[in-house]
Each structure stands twice: as C-alpha cells, then as structure tokens.
C-alpha cells in the first residue's frame, strides 16, 4: 500500500487538502505462535515504540469522499524505543489510510478503522549461531502491515487526542526462511495537530450520480522470490493472471479468472530427479474482488482454487488467498504488491504490474 502513497504524495501540496501531523506512543505484547521458542521470546520482548505521521484529507466534495466520509491518507515512520537482543529494534516507513465511521464534522468524538503498509527494517533475524531462538523472521528487511481501529476527540479546532489498537505484522513473505512472522498487538495514544489554514469538511452532502455497470479485463504479471528451507537460497517465483471483472458499484469490482504460476530451481532444490514443465507450474481458477478506495487506489482480494498444483513447491492446500494494494495509472496500467498465502501462511510476495481494458470500450 505504501507504493500508492508515493505516487499520490504530490497531492499533499494542493490547497484543498487539510494537512496534519500526528505523534503517538505505543506499547503492547508480542504474540506467541504457541511454540516453546515462541513463548520464550514473547516473555523476553517488551515492545515500546514511537510513531510519526504526515497526513492529508481532501475536503472537496467528490464521489469517494462522500462514500468513505472524507478519509485521511498519509505517510509515517515507526520505531521501537528499546533494542531487544531477540528481534532487534524494529522500524518501518509506510503509507496509510483512515476511514471514519461517521463524517468527522458531526461530532467531537469520532471512531474509524485504519490500515498501514510499508517496509520494515532494523530487525535482528534468525542466525543458527548468534540468534538461534528467533524462528519468527529470517531477514533484516520485511514487509510491514498494521490493521486496527481508532478513536479521536477534538479538544480544539486544530488539536485532536487519539487512541488506536490493532494487529501489527512483520513478514518477508518467505523470501528468506524462517518466516513465521512477528505479530504485535499494541495500544497507541497520541495527538494530531492540523497544519496551515483550517479547511472544514463541507456540511452539505454530495449527490452521488447513479452508477452504470462496467466490465473490465485485467492482465497481470506477478514476480517474486521464495526460499523453501532455512539456510537455502531464494529462487524466482512468479506467474501471470487474467481476470474478467464487473463493476456494479463505485466501491468494488468482482469477477473470475485464471492464475498460472512457475517455481524456479527444482533441480537445485531437490536434486537427483528429472522434472517436467508441469512439476514446476500450477494453474488455478481465482475469484477476485477489488475494494476501490479512490479512483486510482484499490485493494485486490482473491481466493484461488488449484486445477493442479505441486506440494514440492510448497503448495500445501488446494486453495490460496491473496490481498494487497494496487495503484491504477491514467494509461490503464497498474502496479502493486500482494501476498499470496495458503491458510494465511505466506507463499510469496507478488510484485505486480498489469493492464486493464474496459470491455466494449471503443
């Protein structure tokens, strides 16, 4: 999701945006995965962190502002205060969005939900000699994600106090094993200060025009890397996809398609056998749903069912899940990052580029 916010950062300087600066402190437990080593690390780690955000909210009357009650977007930096010898001092840079449950100009107290996604770094990964107990993470660089809910109260037209909680996750998507992932459940409290001229949200509602049904073809190229065993190298993992999508509403598209995947390096990973094309590939039918946040930013969600698969490529279940973020450009190209997983266990991160064609468009 952070990718899309980089593309939209130029919007920050536009006059119709209310800018703000947020500062928070957070604390919470590291969640164990139920193993003996997981319980040991959980008891040793005391997570405390600081968080800085630069946020902007577009206050003009638009379709998506009306649908999502004037959401906030932004970029942020998060850093653990303490260095823990088991996991290091986790840090992250990220993009985020916040969607309120009601229009912020209606009450001083507001509730909503948020999502953050970006790059996690400065972690201390597994090392067979120096850090053998940390089987949570195998790399210094990781994907960072944080989902949760928030409450904020306006004590002044320029100042809000705020609190939030949710699930925070660091993972490398199996680029390097081990990769159980680090999960934290922090409570965060802080303050938000509006910058520059105060730009109130319009009180009168925007009349949303009726929506005609639209149809699209999506063509996608997935690229990534995957490690199959601890201390083994990483290999290319990728594929292509095609989806036919219906857009019956402004908020979403849904459809059906095919995904084809290829796993590199079987001769090196499992020597001594001969492998054919089918051993290195898999094919699936996938149901797709795109949650549209703005005209260009959306969240792809998918559930695939394999027509054929190979457990040697760690396709352990007959189905997989997909979720991530994508940004659609004016020329119908799109780019993004998703995680493909089996029963919520990462297969690989899909760095995706693609092209959208509107069906019936002249």
Beta pairing partners, 115? 97, 147
How does pLDDT run across 29-48, given as a tens digit for each residue?
Answer: 999 988 888 899 989 999 99
What pLDDT, on a 0 to 100 scale, did the predictor assign at position 3?
Answer: 45
- Comparing CA positions, the residue from 346, 295, 28 lying closest to residue 183 is 28
Measured CA to CA in angstroms, residue 76 lies from 109, 187, 189, 190, 359 at distances of: 23, 17, 15, 14, 38
CA 287 vs. chain centroid, Å, equals: 19
CA distance 148 to 183: 13
Which three-class secondary structure state does DSSP give residue 349? strand
Task: Give the Cα-Cα-Cα angle 60, 62, 67 (nearest 5 degrees).
Answer: 120
**Dist CA 152 CA 317 (whole Å):** 42
Sites in the chain below the pLDDT cut of 70: 1-15, 361-362
Token pair 């898999």 in the structure block, residue: 282
Dist. CA 282–CA 285, nearest whole Å: 11
95, 1 contact by CB (below 8 A): yes
> What was the pLDDT predicted at 202?
87
304 phi, psi to nearest 5 deg: -110, 150
Q: How far apart are CA 309 and CA 316, in angstroms?
A: 9
> Do residues 71 and 61 lie in contact, with contact meaning Cβ atoms separated by under 8 Å?
no
Tell me how far CA of residue 352 lies from CA of 97, 119, 237, 306, 321, in angstroms.
21, 17, 12, 20, 16
Q: Are 113 and 291 in contact (CB under 8 A)?
A: no
Cα-based distances in Å from 268 to 176, 179, 263, 271, 274 = 16, 21, 12, 6, 11
pLDDT (0 to 100) of residue 307:
98
Residue 27 confidence (pLDDT):
97
Nearest Cα residue to 232 out of 264, 274, 192: 264
In this structure, are residues 349 and 339 in contact, taking their beta carbons and an 8 Å threshold?
yes
Is this model's pTM higher than 0.75 or not?
yes
φ and ψ of 264, to 5 deg:
-80, 155
The answer to whether the CB of 41 falls within 8 A of the CB of 10 is no
HSE of 106, CA atoms in CB hemisphere, 13 A: 10
Predicted pLDDT at 5: 46
Task: For residues 360 and 343, give the distance between their C-alpha atoms in angstroms, rounded to a whole number.
Answer: 37
């Amino acid at each position: 999701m952070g990718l899309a916010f980089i593309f939209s950062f130029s919007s920050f300087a536009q006059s119709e945006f209310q800018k703000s600066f947020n500062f928070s402190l957070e604390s919470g437990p590291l969640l164990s995965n139920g193993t003996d080593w997981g319980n040991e690390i959980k008891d040793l780690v005391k997570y405390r962190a600081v968080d800085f955000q630069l946020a902007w909210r577009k206050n003009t009357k638009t379709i998506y502002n009306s649908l999502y009650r004037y959401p906030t977007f932004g970029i942020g930096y998060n850093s653990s205060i303490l260095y823990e010898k088991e996991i290091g001092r986790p840090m992250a840079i990220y993009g985020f969005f916040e969607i309120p449950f009601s229009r912020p100009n209606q009450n001083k107290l507001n509730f909503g939900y948020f999502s953050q996604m970006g790059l996690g770094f400065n972690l201390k990964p597994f090392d067979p000699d120096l850090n053998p107990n940390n089987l949570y993470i195998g790399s210094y660089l990781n994907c960072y994600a944080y989902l949760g809910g928030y409450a904020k109260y306006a004590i002044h037209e320029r100042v809000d106090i705020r609190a939030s909680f949710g699930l925070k996750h660091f993972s490398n998507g199996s680029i390097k094993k081990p990769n159980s992932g680090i999960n934290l459940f922090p409570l965060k409290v802080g303050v938000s200060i509006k910058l520059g001229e105060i730009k109130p949200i319009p009180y009168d509602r925007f009349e949303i025009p009726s929506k005609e049904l639209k149809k699209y073809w999506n063509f996608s190229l997935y690229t990534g890397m995957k490690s199959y065993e601890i201390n083994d190298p990483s290999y290319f993992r990728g594929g292509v996809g095609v989806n036919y999508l219906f857009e019956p509403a402004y908020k979403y598209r849904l459809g059906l398609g095919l995904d084809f995947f290829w796993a590199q390096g079987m001769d090196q990973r499992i020597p001594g056998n001969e492998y054919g094309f089918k051993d290195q590939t898999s094919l699936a039918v996938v149901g797709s749903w795109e949650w549209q946040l703005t005209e260009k930013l959306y969240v792809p969600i998918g559930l695939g069912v394999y027509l054929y698969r190979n457990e040697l490529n760690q396709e352990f279940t007959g189905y997989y899940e997909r979720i991530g973020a994508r940004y659609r450009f004016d020329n119908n190209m799109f780019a993004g990052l998703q995680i493909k997983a089996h029963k919520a266990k990462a297969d690989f991160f899909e760095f995706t580029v693609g092209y959208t064609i509107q069906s019936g468009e002249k």
